[in-house]
Structure 1
Amino acid sequence: MKCGLIEKTESQFVDSIEKEAYVWCEKNWKHDDYEHQHNRAQLTFVEEGYQYFHIDRKIYLVPQHHVIWIPSEKAHKITSEAQTVNLMVFLFKSVFDDEFYQNVQVFAVPPVLKEMLLYASKWNQSLDENEEQDIFFKAILKSLPNFCKESSGLEIPVPTDTRLIPVCNDINTHFKYNLDIDSLAEKAQMSVRSLQRIFKNETGITLQKYLQLTRILKSIELIDTRQYTLSEVAYKVGYQSLSAFTSSYFAIMQVKPKLKKN
């Protein structure tokens, strides 16, 4: 059993719970790294650490104090290299008739929503009927579209054109260095101009933006280790100054980078 759901097969979970909604909190969360799906919509709050969600050929980063909304029946895989991952997972049998609930959403949790989620933890793993809980969870669900400010910068697209996979792999490996566009074009076996055009068409972003996203994701992993200063992190992901790193980080995350307290 995981999050109250019975794992029927490696990729499919069976829901035998009558409750409309419930919450499942765990410290030091451990996920299987295979793709799975379930018939409840899912709201996951990352209280500590970070998670990567692999959904529909995109990789969504969900850092600390962010949430991800996943519609029901949406196949997803979760990975993380964080030292500790503390999660709250809310599972809803039905949702409101609004386009928001039909799509994957990732966004930073504003203070009001954070307090609501933390208050809801008092019902952790409770499957008993409770009127206050039912009303409170419905209020959380109804409020989500108002709390969401799009964080599309927290997703990395995965191209379907197989010629671009070596390009992405090269950037993921050598993110510390500036783009060698001629070398990347050679790996893709196409001209520089074709590479730039096809990559943008496939992913919706430029090669330079892809590099920036990769660097910021790597910086989040390094910050999580608590082993480096911000200046060291900036250098390790390819920035020549802390100010340049801070500016790039803010452009993606909408907050300035800061070290975690031990």
Structure 2
Amino acid sequence: AEAGDADHPFFGRLGIYPVTDLLYELLRYTSSWYGHYGPAQYEPYLFLLNLKLVLPHISLHPLPLALPTTEDPRLVPVLHYLYEHLGELLELGSVARHFGFSPRSLSRLFQECLSLSFGQYLKLRRILAAMALLLETRQTISEVAYAVGYNSLASFSNTFYQLVGQRPSEFALRE
């Protein structure tokens, strides 16, 4: 971290930020770079320095959500399964049986490790996946809703609004 990092409050805030098309292309440009780049590597250093200078101005609004994680070996495969099957019907009982838990045991494990119920976690996971799809793809809101497991556009829109504070159509227009 450079001494100037503290000059902008952006660098003191932890957050998840949407990637604009501009930022994506800038990062893609650097994807083949490896190693440390300092003033001796003039062009890459200037590029990265300029990226650092514009970052606070193009990443104005952090995404309002964070997904809890765990390293508990009993729950990690369950969370991976939920992620891989977001577009499917996922119910506590069937997921618990799939992993050899009783519904009550799996429910307690979610609460113990993540401080969320199974349903709360699944809802949050689906909305975070929807946010990524809305920002990174050209899919319609209906396509996104179905891709993350919602069968009702109204239910998806209401849940999205409840968690994000914006309708999916408003969120998709963010820069």
2:145 corresponds to 1:234: yes
2:159 corresponds to 1:260: no
Deviations along 1:165-205, one digit per CA (max 9) or x if unpaired, are 11101100111122243442245433221111121121111
Say if 1:23 and 1:163 are closer, same or farther in 2 by CA, change over 3 A: same
Which contiguous aligned blocks of 4+ residues in structure 1 show a shift greater than 4 angstroms? Answer: none
User: For 1:168 and 1:84, how far apart are their aligned partners in 2?
Assistant: 32
Q: CA RMSD in A?
A: 3.1
Say if 1:189 and 1:223 are closer, same or farther in 2 by CA, change over 3 A: same
Q: Gaps (5+ residues) in structure 2?
A: 25-52, 55-63
Say if 1:83 and 1:210 are closer, same or farther in 2 by CA, change over 3 A: farther
Which residue does 2:7 correspond to in 1? Answer: 22
Deviations along 1:182-237, one digit per CA (max 9) or x if unpaired, are 44224543322111112112111111111111111111111113412212211221
The structure with higher relative contact order (CA 8 Å, sep 6+) is 2
Q: Gaps (5+ residues) in structure 1?
A: 6-14, 26-40, 45-52, 54-61, 65-79, 87-123, 126-150
SS at match of 2:122: helix
TM-score (norm. length: structure 2): 0.64
SS at match of 1:163: coil
Higher helix share: 2
1:85 to 9, 23, 39: 23
Q: 1:21 Cα shift?
A: 3.0
Say if 1:209 and 1:84 are closer, same or farther in 2 by CA, change over 3 A: farther
Matched residue pairs, number? 136
Higher strand share: 1
Query: What percent of counterpart residues are identical?
Result: 28
User: For 2:5 and 2:90, how far apart are their aligned partners in 1?
Assistant: 50
Map 1:10-49 → 2, pairs under 5 A: 15=2, 17=3, 21-23=6-8, 42-43=12-13
Amino acid at match of 1:43: R
